[in-house]
Amino acid sequence: MRVRHQALSLLSWASSGICGLLTPYSASNTCSSEAFPYPEVEGAKILTLTAQQVHNYTSSLAALADWPGGNFTQNFCNVTITYTHPRWNDTINVWTWLPLENWNGRYMAQGGGGFVTGDANMFHPPALDRGFAVTSTDGGHVGTNDPSTWALTPDGKIDYYRLKDFAYIALHDANVMGKALAEAFYGQPPNYSYYSSCSSGGRQGLTMAQRYPHDYDGILALSPAINWATFIIAEYWPQLVMNQLGVYPRPCELDAISAAAIEACDELDGVKDGIVAAPSLCKFDPHTLVGQTFNCSGVEASFTEAAATIALETWRGPAEWFGVNPGTPLTGYVSLANTQCASPTSTDCEGVSFIVATGWISLFLEQNPNFDLKSLNYETYGALFELSRARFEHIISNNNPDLSNFAAAGGKMVTWHGLEDEVIPPNGSSHYYQRVLDEDANARDYYRFFELPGTFHCRPGLGPFPNDTLSKVMRWVEEGVAPDTLDGVIQDPITGEVKGKRKLCQWPLVEKYVGGDITQEASFVCSESF
């Protein structure tokens, strides 16, 4: 264990199956604004601190990444700190929820998604339900995926202070504050500190391991939006291709192409289950479909050359980066080749760009909220690609493969990434992990990566989805047991009924079918190839 406190020797342990739980604590302080001293944070000035008891707080949340959904009714001390970095003209909020009873002796920080740095109401309840003291921050801006309210200064220049708050500074500030508040409330510091989040939150987790290696004992950084300066502009590639072709296929045609890719490549892993589990082996060319017919809302239609090109380019990605895998949904609210039409069968359609990508291009690259993205061509797009890297790589890409300081501090980290991620290409994560291994051949001693067949962006698909990876990280930190596999559960996407279980293997190993019922774990082994 990396961080030791004298109080730990006074604790007794209770058996809990997967991971031991510290004997629950009760608050030793009152939940009032006057009871909390202002935490000391380098470079920060606290403006206000408010604390109040919250009883019978109810919330109903869908499952997201490693956190189960459910209905929650909770009692906690809600502490909100508002602070600034003098001369930066920023205002940042930090939210910390402290269980009024049954604190498990642990602290957790959580992140956000897209341009949202954090959201207490959305992410805190499941962690609080497990007894964590939990903290998140708004990073100094309103929590939406539209950065127009903060990206630029009043004179139209990039607000680098707020960008750095979002990228890394506010994350560390919040962690210092949250731990201090927990210590003040319970009369002792947390015995273990964790971080867990997905997407942009996954990027935040890796950011902390790279920039602030002593902040956490264990990090769960899922589907991470690292390589930000590269992949964010790469997300616009399918829309650029459509604009250059002047064609916007109907969603039903793009969906039919995805279905054809799955049909062609499903059994490359030896199992027919509606999942492309071996995307690197999938060589399906959608142009072979041109002229064939498909069903679009009960009406027969023919595959077009343009739609085939758009699908293939979405899978390939721009020359500078990766695309999504074949079989990944091409349409949907976060899908990169999304379109919308006047009606399901209408050919009067237009492209629907991913808001995070368009905000990045318009505001951080062009510095023009009214920039017409359709004015881009391949040449000007390529120039913006290089500008994005040159201007922002060092601030927000958070892809430094040197984790030696995190390793020296005793930290442990796990990343998983769905192979059907529609918005963040999973090959970006495997590419980063290989760079980590190139830097340190023993990196698996403190950092492990898993690929998930049939999993979408931060949420289950038809494939095995990890069941409580956080407990695996906790066991690694607290008991020294490293996770060789994750526990995957296959559920009906509508009813939630469990259809099967499977062990998910540490990359680059894959789940090889060896015979038997494909819903049973024993039918698969971890192997170097299918």
Residue numbers annotated as active site: 199, 421, 457
Query: What span, in angstroms and rounded, lies between the C-alpha atoms of 66 and 63?
Result: 8
Q: How many CA atoms lie within 13 A of 359 on its CB side?
A: 15
Q: What are phi and psi of 527, to 5 degrees?
A: -140, 160
User: What is the per-residue burial (b if ≥16 Cβ within 10 Å, else e) of 154-164?
Assistant: eeeebbebbbb
For Cα atoms 375, 352, 320, give the angle at the middle one, nearest 5 degrees: 60
Beta-carbon contacts of 324 under 8 Å, excluding residues fewer than 6 positions away, are 314, 315, 317, 336, 420, 421, 422, 423, 425
Torsion of Cα atoms, 196 then 199 then 202 then 208, to 10°: -110
Q: Which residues pair with 449 in a beta bridge?
A: 415
Return the SS3 of 434: helix
Do 99 and 79 contact (CB within 8 A), yes or no?
A: no
Question: What's the rounded Cα separation, in Å, for the pair 508 and 457?
Answer: 20
Q: Are 11 and 105 in contact (CB under 8 A)?
A: yes
Residue 407's SS3 state is helix
Q: Compute the radius of gyration of the chain from its Cα atoms.
A: 24
Q: Residues 6 or more apart from 496 whose CB is under 8 A from it?
A: none
Q: Residue 145, exposed/middle/buried by CB under 10 A (0-12, 13-18, 19+)?
A: middle
User: How far apart are the C-alpha atoms of 461 and 199, rounded to whole Å?
Assistant: 16
Q: What residues contact residue 194 under an 8 Å CB cut-off, 6+ apart?
A: 106, 107, 108, 109, 132, 216, 217, 218, 219, 220, 470, 473, 474, 477
Residues 6+ apart with CB under 8 A from 390: none
Is the preceding peptide bond at 24 cis, omega within 30 degrees of 0? no
Terminal-to-terminal C-alpha distance of the chain: 37
CA distances in angstroms from 266 to 26, 149, 431, 465, 488, listed in the order given: 52, 45, 24, 18, 19
Concatenated DSSP letters for 104-117?
Answer: -SEEEE---BTTB-
Q: What is the distance of C-alpha 168 from the center of its chain? A: 15
